[in-house]
Amino acid sequence: MSDADDGQDLGITESKEYNTGEWYAEVVQKAELANYGPEGMSGFIVTRPRAYSLWESIQNELDGAFKATGVQNAYFPLFIPESYLEKEKDVVEGFDPEVAWVTQGGYEELEERLAVRPTSESIIAPYMAQWVRSHRDLPLRVNQWCSVVRWEATDTKPFFRTKEFLWQEGHTAHETHDEAWNETMTRLDQYEDLYRDTLAIPVLRGQKPDHDKFPGAHTTTTVEALMPDGKSVQGATSHHLGQSFAEAFDLTFSAEDEEERAAHTTSWGLSWRSLGALIMTHSDDQGLVLPPTVAPEQVVIVPIWQDDTRDDVLQYATGVAADLEEAGVRVELDDRDERNPGFKFNEHELKGVPVRFEIGPHEVEDDEVTVVHRPDGAEETVSREGIVETTEEHLDEVFAKLYATAEETLAEGVRDATERNEILGTIGQHGGYVRAPWCGEEDCETEIKEQIAAEIVMVPFEDDEEKHVHEGEDCAVCGDDAEETAYFAKSY
Amino acid sequence: MSDADDGQDLGITESKEYNTGEWYAEVVQKAELANYGPEGMSGFIVTRPRAYSLWESIQNELDGAFKATGVQNAYFPLFIPESYLEKEKDVVEGFDPEVAWVTQGGYEELEERLAVRPTSESIIAPYMAQWVRSHRDLPLRVNQWCSVVRWEATDTKPFFRTKEFLWQEGHTAHETHDEAWNETMTRLDQYEDLYRDTLAIPVLRGQKPDHDKFPGAHTTTTVEALMPDGKSVQGATSHHLGQSFAEAFDLTFSAEDEEERAAHTTSWGLSWRSLGALIMTHSDDQGLVLPPTVAPEQVVIVPIWQDDTRDDVLQYATGVAADLEEAGVRVELDDRDERNPGFKFNEHELKGVPVRFEIGPHEVEDDEVTVVHRPDGAEETVSREGIVETTEEHLDEVFAKLYATAEETLAEGVRDATERNEILGTIGQHGGYVRAPWCGEEDCETEIKEQIAAEIVMVPFEDDEEKHVHEGEDCAVCGDDAEETAYFAKSY
Ligand SMILES: [Zn+2]
Ligand SMILES: [Zn+2]
């Protein structure tokens, strides 16, 4: 709001194409999405209402899907005793280097340090173990929406890289390996649906190479989204943890045959990085662009008047707004006197309102409305009659345009290579994904990583056609027999 | 779930009337609402799905009311630099003795200690100051749902007294004193509505005596609920902060006359203590009792069959469940084979399902359903036809019964006194509130507090009839002229 007083500062000055990082930071700031944290707290951000409402849209969508498939929400303590984290270390590599430690409560030094949760496996598993006695208590599915802290010393990039971030973490226990696998895939499907149908972002789905799984996990699955700067974002992950966690935390149940067995567990999470992907994918050099599915205002009506037409135009615009509101469209009538229409156009473009209605004396006279699409500026004059249906069509169109553009970016962004230098050259020149036959050895990834900081972000699932490398194909890096297809990319 | 295998442990053994504290702890545990935190983390609890869903009901209700009245949600960092808290100390007494301090991030000692937020005024105000430039940016209303930590060394009582608790904190800025006062009262009204219409708990509303206001506040308002053990719970508070916070944090705006002025601010919060009040108010020696408004299952259907009637009964019960579900009633058909009806009755009573349907061969034959109310066991046989409407009537009846009982408790719990010994004697014997004329001096409260640990929990608002002490009335404690009516009570 502060910037609004000063026309100069209002617009985006950086270029998405040439300066993606600075451009992103500017959009986040000027579209009033987030501020950086206070001095002494680099790496933290303040999530302003506009961004938080986007997060709420994501939450609503996902939470509804979770609950419809047997998930219950719960809340576990913010802190985890160090000894609990230590216990987890028997199974997995710890989070030690990234943990924020509480050492004092009031004026007292604590006897045991408490970790601010970096993730909650180690405190949730012991309670699930208490709650589960018999196979009748399974499946058990709990999820929590919360914030976690990871003390990474990196450049802050709001929503992509922050020391504290919001997320959900789901934790489930099942009787059998297959049930746990179905659970893993159900959540991955729901993440994919969220990206595709709510965020207008197509994703690739697959699994992490064995050396890059969640430590202790049987399989780590991922949805990956391609950002406009050619880097891949891990959009969400869903882990089949096998029985290792259950064994470490005594999460056992008496089976129908009365044997005591360790449960098969999963965990899955999506963070506000999804919000970062949303902002970065669709926005442009005019500012934020949002799909109508999540936009706080789907339509903004800008009335255009002279003194002698003011009353007529406003009355007409108010009627249109009322019709839309009644139909459940999120509409704002921008009737501020102190701003001219051009200023309003710019401001609402900056803030990402998907559709603009312009209503002036001509529209009033002809019983029409001029409709403008945010993503491409496409303009059309439509009849006042049936405006609700027309609006819904235009909102759908805008969504479809955004999705189509993102889909094209992804389609163009996947290239094939059969040789080491081809991988390096293609990623160096174009970014995106390079699909190459791979022997399965970490060394071959390391070689690429050292040269160009790209890694294997995923390999397709077993049942995926692309998985099957052909007889006689060789690893693009070492030339040994290829075992699977790897997607190399730089990543966030 | 574990207890379900062992009939002995299932029921409540403590008495609400004679052992309220132990009874409450037992209900929380056995109705699967919460567990105590891990060793080394006394004062923390794990909120199980059943309790968390109650919290979600409260959130939905209140969040809807907030948004309908101009509030936007946001999210501020979990940590607050010590220097920020220090700055607040210019205005208010600090939270120092209650703060959990983060001193290490990864392997590094932090240069400045970070407080885990005990409340967020000191980090929110500086950002609101950045966002507000002109009177056009006002009113500004932000709210966050989050957890806060206060390192109080007290006995844990789930939802009433915990070191970490969930709450919402609203923070607003306005142009004028009156607008801030209206805001303060709007939020208090919404809290009262929540208690009355959603939680079936009547409250008293008023303000804290001057010496007990939020430090720095102009007025602290409160809703107070009477618990069955005769103690008062502060159900929520809403503070008119005047201009002191705005002045300390430079939250100023250029007014229409172009003068720079400090804003008038408010803050208001409700915590999961409301959940504690809900559990304690309605539950009984059979376990949890919930109003249908928040109950995760509003109706449980228990089929009663012999081998030869099983299919008919189940089919009939399934049909009833389907009708209710379609109408939006939250219904569970408990068709478990391994439990008999008596066991199921006890379990659902323990867990607080408001209405039970019993369906056996007789009901099937006569096209009927037997309906039982959880609070008082009232039983009625109703026609299968129109079951949806009948159910809704019964749910309303159960709600009305709970509210009526709580209202009676409150009405009986307010007594008058005009003498010091009468205050002491009445609270000592009955608990509850004692209404007495008061001179307005803290000393007179201190005297009562020292004798019987009761305090002035509120004084009625200025426009409240009761406020006006009569000409010639004297302070019940010191005998000086009375200025207002004080409500003395023991409190949580
Ligand atoms: Zn190789
Ligand atoms: Zn006195």
User: Which H, E and C letters describe chain B, residue by residue?
Assistant: CHHHHCHHHHCCCCCCCCCHHHHHHHHHHHCCCEEECCCCCCCCEEECHHHHHHHHHHHHHHHHHHHHCCCEECECCCEEEHHHHHHHHCCCCCCHHHCEEEEEECCEEEEEEEEECCCCHHHHHHHHHHHCCEHHHCCEEEEEEEEEECCCCCCCECCCECCEEEEEEEEEEECCHHHHHHHHHHHHHHHHHHHHHHCCCCCEEEECCHHHCCCCCCEEEEEEEECCCCCEEEEEEEEEEECHHHHHCCCEEECCCCCEEECEEEEEEEECHHHHHHHHHHCECCECCCCCCCCCCCEEEEECCCCCCHHHHHHHHHHHHHHHHHCCCCEEECCCCCCCHHHHHHHHHHCCCCEEEEECHHHHHHCEEEEEECCCCCEEEEECCCHHHHHHHHHHHHHHHHHHHHHHHHHHCEEECCCHHHHHHHHHHHCCEEEEEECCCHHHHHHHHHHHCCEEEEECCCCCHHHCCCCCCECCCCCCECCEEEEEECEC
**CB contact A2 to B (< 8 Å):** yes
What spacing in Å lies between the alpha carbon of A51 and ligand 1's midpoint? 43
Inter-chain touch A100–B104, beta carbons under 8 Å: yes
B116: which chain A residues are within 8 Å (Cβ-Cβ)?
Answer: 78, 102, 116
Q: Would you state the pLDDT for residue B95? A: 62
Fold for domain A299-404? Answer: Rossmann fold (3.40.50)
Q: Which one of B41, B76, B96 has the shortest CB-CB distance to A46?
A: B76
* Shortest Cα distance, chain B CAs vs residue A103, angstroms: 6
The domain segmentation of chain A, as residue ranges, is 32-282, 299-404, 414-489
Inter-chain touch A103–B103, beta carbons under 8 Å: yes
User: Which residues does residue A226 pair with via DSSP β-bridges, in sequence order?
Assistant: A232
Looking at B48-62, B92-106, B116-130, B330-344, which range is the least confident one?
B92-106
Q: Which one of A74, A116, A136 has the shortest CB-CB distance to B102?
A: A116
Inter-chain touch B116–A114, beta carbons under 8 Å: no
Of the residues A39, A50, A71, A79, the best mutation for testing chain B's interface (the one with the most B CB atoms within 10 Å of its CB) is: A79
Looking at A107-111, A349-353, B444-448, B453-457, which range is the least confident one?
A107-111
Taking alpha carbons only, the member of A145, A148, A128, A162 closest to residue A78 is: A148
Q: Would you state the pLDDT for residue B383? A: 98
**CB contact A29 to B (< 8 Å):** no
Q: Is the pLDDT of residue A1 over 60?
A: no
Q: Would you state the pLDDT for residue A10? A: 76
**pLDDT tens across B297-324, in order?**
999 999 999 999 999 999 999 999 999 9
Q: Would you state the pLDDT for residue B20? A: 95
A100: which chain B residues are within 8 Å (Cβ-Cβ)?
Answer: 79, 102, 104-106, 114
With 0-12 / 13-18 / 19 or more C-beta atoms within 10 angstroms meaning exposed / middle / buried, residue A389 is exposed
Rounded to a whole number of angstroms, the CA Rg of chain B reads 26
Inter-chain touch B5–A133, beta carbons under 8 Å: yes
Q: Is the pLDDT of residue B138 over 80?
A: yes
Confidence label for A3 from pLDDT (cuts 50, 70 and 90): very low
Inter-chain touch A101–B105, beta carbons under 8 Å: yes
Inter-chain touch B78–A149, beta carbons under 8 Å: yes
Inter-chain touch A79–B130, beta carbons under 8 Å: no
**CB contact A468 to B (< 8 Å):** no
Q: Which one of A5, A41, A166 has the shortest CB-CB distance to B114?
A: A41
What spacing in Å lies between the alpha carbon of A422 and ligand 1's midpoint? 14
Inter-chain touch A78–B133, beta carbons under 8 Å: no
**CB contact B167 to A (< 8 Å):** no
* Shortest Cα distance, chain A CAs vs residue B60, angstroms: 11
What spacing in Å lies between the alpha carbon of A455 and ligand 1's midpoint? 13
Looking at A173-182, A465-474, B244-253, B366-375, which range is the least confident one?
A465-474
* Shortest Cα distance, chain A CAs vs residue B27, angstroms: 16
Taking phi first (over 0 means left), then psi (-120 to 50 degrees means alpha), and beta for anything else, what does residue A381 get?
A: beta
B45: which chain A residues are within 8 Å (Cβ-Cβ)?
Answer: 77
**CB contact A46 to B (< 8 Å):** yes
Q: B273-282 and B49-68 are packed helices; what angle lies between their axes, rounded to 10 degrees?
A: 120
**CB contact A94 to B (< 8 Å):** no
Inter-chain touch B1–A131, beta carbons under 8 Å: yes
Q: Is the pLDDT of residue A326 over 80?
A: yes
Q: Which one of B46, B111, B142 has the shortest CB-CB distance to A76?
A: B46
Whole-angstrom CA distances from B361 to A358, B39, B310, B338, B345 are 67, 51, 9, 19, 18
What protein residues have CB closer than 5 angstroms to ion ligand 1? Answer: A 439, 444, 475, 477-478
**pLDDT tens across A401-449, in order?**
999 999 999 999 999 999 999 999 999 999 999 999 999 999 999 999 9
**CB contact A154 to B (< 8 Å):** no
Confirm if A225 and A203 have CB atoms less than 8 A apart: yes
Confidence label for A154 from pLDDT (cuts 50, 70 and 90): confident
A81: which chain B residues are within 8 Å (Cβ-Cβ)?
Answer: 38-41
* Shortest Cα distance, chain A CAs vs residue B299, angstroms: 19
Q: Would you state the pLDDT for residue A92? A: 57
Considering only alpha carbons, which residue of chain B is nearest residue A73? Answer: B49
Architecture of the domain made up of B414-489: 2-Layer Sandwich (3.30)
- Looking at the CA of B482, which ligand is closest? 2
Q: Would you state the pLDDT for residue A2? A: 41
Q: Would you state the pLDDT for residue B259? A: 95
- Looking at the CA of A476, which ligand is closest? 1
**pLDDT tens across A159-213, in order?**
999 999 999 999 999 999 999 999 999 999 999 999 999 999 999 999 999 988 8
Q: Is the pLDDT of residue A467 over 70?
A: no
Distance, in Å, from the CA atom of A155 to the CA atom of A149, rounded to the nearest integer, reads 15
- Looking at the CA of A484, which ligand is closest? 1
CATH 3.30.360.10 assigned to B32-282:
no
Average pLDDT score over residue span B394-421:
97
Considering only alpha carbons, which residue of chain B is nearest residue A96? Answer: B106
**CB contact B465 to A (< 8 Å):** no
Give percent of chain A with pLDDT exceeding 70: 96
Backbone φ, ψ for residue A158 (5° rounding): -45, 130
Confidence label for B39 from pLDDT (cuts 50, 70 and 90): confident
Considering only alpha carbons, which residue of chain A is nearest residue B6? Answer: A133
Q: Would you state the pLDDT for residue B107? A: 87
B39: which chain A residues are within 8 Å (Cβ-Cβ)?
Answer: 81
What spacing in Å lies between the alpha carbon of A465 and ligand 1's midpoint? 21
Q: Would you state the pLDDT for residue A463? A: 78
* Shortest Cα distance, chain A CAs vs residue B175, angstroms: 16
Q: Which one of B35, B49, B97 has the shortest CB-CB distance to A142?
A: B49
Q: Is the pLDDT of residue A76 over 70?
A: yes
**pLDDT tens across B142-198, in order?**
999 999 999 987 788 999 999 999 999 999 999 999 999 999 999 999 999 999 999
Give percent of chain A with pLDDT exceeding 90: 87
* Shortest Cα distance, chain B CAs vs residue A46, angstroms: 5
What spacing in Å lies between the alpha carbon of A211 and ligand 1's midpoint? 14
Q: Is the pLDDT of residue A464 over 90?
A: no
B251: which chain A residues are within 8 Å (Cβ-Cβ)?
Answer: none
**CB contact A68 to B (< 8 Å):** no
Inter-chain touch A72–B52, beta carbons under 8 Å: yes
Within 8 A by CB and 6+ apart from A398, the residues are A291, A292, A354, A355, A373, A374, A375
Q: Which one of A56, A101, A102 has the shortest CB-CB distance to B73?
A: A56
What spacing in Å lies between the alpha carbon of A477 and ligand 1's midpoint? 5
- Looking at the CA of B483, which ligand is closest? 2
Q: Would you state the pLDDT for residue B113? A: 93
Q: Which one of B55, B73, B149 has the shortest CB-CB distance to A78?
A: B149
Q: Is the pLDDT of residue A6 over 60?
A: no
**CB contact B361 to A (< 8 Å):** no
Average pLDDT score over residue span A460-469:
75
What spacing in Å lies between the alpha carbon of B478 and ligand 2's midpoint? 4
Confidence label for B93 from pLDDT (cuts 50, 70 and 90): low
* Shortest Cα distance, chain B CAs vs residue A417, angstroms: 40
Prediction ipTM score: 0.95
What single-letter DSSP state applies at residue A339? S
What spacing in Å lies between the alpha carbon of A95 and ligand 2's midpoint? 59
Q: Would you state the pLDDT for residue B94? A: 58
Strands (E), A324-378: 331-333, 355-359, 368-373
